[in-house]
């Protein structure tokens, strides 16, 4: 398998955790989202992903985009260790949780949206942070409510699920934009818990081959 991705892309981070957690060997192909106007726009990459986004998984002759679709594919091909429980209601609630992040929260902080605000509406870094800080808590509020009902050691009980793979990268992005997380004790607790796990350590943005070196 080959994963086209970018070190600090939260959607890429989700997939990396699954690959490490399920111990699936893969080749890491960096797609730099900023260099030279963004490698995601190169013709060669657009053939794999016409939306010009990461991640994209290539498995032999098969190409899959959209992190949720990739994760469901990996779960079906490599069911152990499971990232979804057997119970249909819980599976649906986990997908609801993931979609809150994927459909509501993530697009708000997506690079191309922020670039548009900068280019067309002259947003500077502070204004972009204000934008993210306005919207993201609405999603985290709904997330915390779900956690009050379903969480244990992790988002849904004591087993790791897809919900954790969506939450932790979103927290990473929130921290980049200095979103105040003090009102979300469960989110913070689960974030700390997950960051101890080997799969999250290995998938962490700062450890990826395309991450800038910290001096
Ligand atoms: N819903 C997609 C979103 C993918 C996405 O937006 N990826 C971002 C990085 S986190 C991206 O490639 N952005 C490129 C850009 O905005 O130009 C998924 O879950 O895979």
| Residues whose CB falls within 8 Å of the CB of residue 4, separated by 6 or more in sequence, listed in order | 29, 31, 45, 48, 49, 54, 55, 56, 57, 58
Three-state DSSP class for 203? Answer: helix
DSSP 8-class letter at 214: P
Biggest CA–CA distance in the chain, Å, is 49
Question: Any bridge partners for residue 59, and if so which?
Answer: 62
Taking the centre of ligand 1 as the mean of its atom positions, its distance from the CA of residue 164, in whole angstroms, is 19
Ligand 1 atom showing the smallest separation from residue 11 Cα = 10
pLDDT band for 213, please (50, 70, 90 cuts). confident
Q: Give the residue ranges of DSSP H helices in 33-179.
A: 43-48, 67-77, 88-99, 111-121, 125-150, 162-176
Distance (angstroms) between ligand 1 centre and the Cα of 10 equals: 8
Instruction: Give 58-116 pLDDT, tens digit per residue.
Output: 999 999 999 999 999 999 999 999 999 999 999 999 999 999 999 999 999 999 999 99
What's domain 88-200's architecture?
A: Up-down Bundle (1.20)
| pLDDT, tens digit (0-9, with 9 covering 90-100), for 114-147 | 999 999 999 999 999 999 999 999 999 999 999 9
**Residue bearing the CA closest to ligand 1, atom 2:** 66
CATH C-level class of 2-81: alpha beta
162-176 and 125-150 helices cross at what angle (nearest 10)? 150
Q: Rounded to whole angstroms, how far apart are CA atoms 143 and 164?
A: 11
CB under 8 Å to 197, separation ≥6 — which residues? 21, 160
Q: Please tell me what DSSP assigns to residue 211.
A: S
pTM: 0.96
Ligand 1: which of 48, 111, 205, 208 to mutate, most ligand atoms within 8 Å of CB?
Answer: 111
C-beta 161 within 6 A of ligand 1: no
Report the separation in Å between the CA atom of 111 and the middle of ligand 1, taken as the mean of its atom positions. Answer: 8
For residue 18, give the nearest of 87, 64, 53, 62 by alpha carbon.
64
Calpha distance 13→133 (Å, rounded):
21
What pLDDT, on a 0 to 100 scale, did the predictor assign at position 186? 98
For residue 52, the CA-to-ligand 1 centroid distance in Å is: 8
Residue tagged 């080997």 (tokens):
198
Where do the domains of the chain lie?
2-81, 88-200
pLDDT tens for 174-206 read 999 999 999 999 999 999 999 999 999 999 999
The C-alpha atoms of residue 67 and residue 37 are separated, in whole angstroms, by 23
- Whether 2-81 and 88-200 share one fold: the answer is no
The CA 89 to ligand 1 mean position distance, Å, reads 28
Residue 214 pLDDT: 73
């Amino acid at each position: 398998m080959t994963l086209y991705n970018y070190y600090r892309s939260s959607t890429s981070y989700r997939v990396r955790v699954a690959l490490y957690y399920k111990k699936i060997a893969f080749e890491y192909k960096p797609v730099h989202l900023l260099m030279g106007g963004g490698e995601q726009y190169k013709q060669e990459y657009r053939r794999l992903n016409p939306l010009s986004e990461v991640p994209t998984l290539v498995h032999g002759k098969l190409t899959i985009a959209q992190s949720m679709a990739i994760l469901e594919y990996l779960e079906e091909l490599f069911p152990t260790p499971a990232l979804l429980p057997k119970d249909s209601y819980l599976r649906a609630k986990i997908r609801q949780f993931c979609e809150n992040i994927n459909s509501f929260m993530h697009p708000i902080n997506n690079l191309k949206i922020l670039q548009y605000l900068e280019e067309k509406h002259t947003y500077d870094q502070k204004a972009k942070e204000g934008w993210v800080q306005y919207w993201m808590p609405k999603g985290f509020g709904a997330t915390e409510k779900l956690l009050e009902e379903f969480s244990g050691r992790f988002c849904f009980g004591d087993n790791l699920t897809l919900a954790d793979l969506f939450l932790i990268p979103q927290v990473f992005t929130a921290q980049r934009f200095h979103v105040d997380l003090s009102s979300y004790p469960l989110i913070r607790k689960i974030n700390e818990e997950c960051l101890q796990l080997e799969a999250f350590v290995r998938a962490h943005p700062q450890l990826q081959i395309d991450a800038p070196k910290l001096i």
